[in-house]
């Protein structure tokens, strides 16, 4: 599903998602399609624990912990030193 659909189905919640169709443009990660792994209320801590668990199980998959209050996703690509990658 796309981000707007996620926002409609899980209003004002933390969600852990897997990007299933994504690309990088101008140093930003653009997620066209995603699957919701799990939804949480407004408490970020259980969402963070879920993100860590699924990321640990398969580091090759692209997981994100996001809050649906964001109208648009702005995910910057960073290097190992947490510096923004410009492309």
Asked, for residue 84, whether it belongs to a domain, the answer is no
Asked, for residue 78, whether it belongs to a domain, the answer is no
Predicted confidence at residue 35, as pLDDT, reads: 98
Asked, for residue 82, whether it belongs to a domain, the answer is no
Predicted confidence at residue 84, as pLDDT, reads: 73
Kindly give the confidence (pLDDT) of every residue in the chain, 87 residues in length, as a single tens digit, with 9 standing for 90 and above. Answer: 999 999 999 999 999 999 999 999 988 999 999 999 999 999 999 999 999 999 999 999 999 999 999 999 999 988 767 777 765
Predicted confidence at residue 87, as pLDDT, reads: 59
Instruction: Render pLDDT for 6-15 as a digit per residue (tens, 0 to 9).
Output: 999 999 999 9
What is the domain count for the chain? 1
**Which is it for strands 28-39 and 75-76: parallel, antiparallel or unpaired?**
antiparallel
Predicted confidence at residue 14, as pLDDT, reads: 98
Domain boundaries, position 43: 3-71
Asked, for residue 76, whether it belongs to a domain, the answer is no
Asked, for residue 61, whether it belongs to a domain, the answer is yes
Asked, for residue 45, whether it belongs to a domain, the answer is yes
Predicted confidence at residue 85, as pLDDT, reads: 74
Q: How far is CA 81 from CA 18, 38, 48, in A?
A: 24, 29, 21
Asked, for residue 87, whether it belongs to a domain, the answer is no
- Report the C-alpha gap between 16 and 18 in whole angstroms: 7
């Amino acid at each position: 599903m796309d981000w707007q659909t996620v926002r409609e189905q899980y209003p004002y919640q933390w969600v852990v998602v897997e990007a299933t169709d994504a690309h990088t443009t101008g140093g930003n990660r653009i997620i066209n399609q995603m699957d919701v792994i799990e939804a949480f209320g407004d408490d970020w801590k259980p969402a963070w624990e879920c993100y860590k668990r699924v990321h640990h199980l398969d580091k090759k998959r692209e997981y994100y912990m996001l809050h649906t209050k964001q109208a648009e996703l702005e995910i910057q690509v960073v290097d190992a030193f947490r510096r923004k990658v410009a492309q």
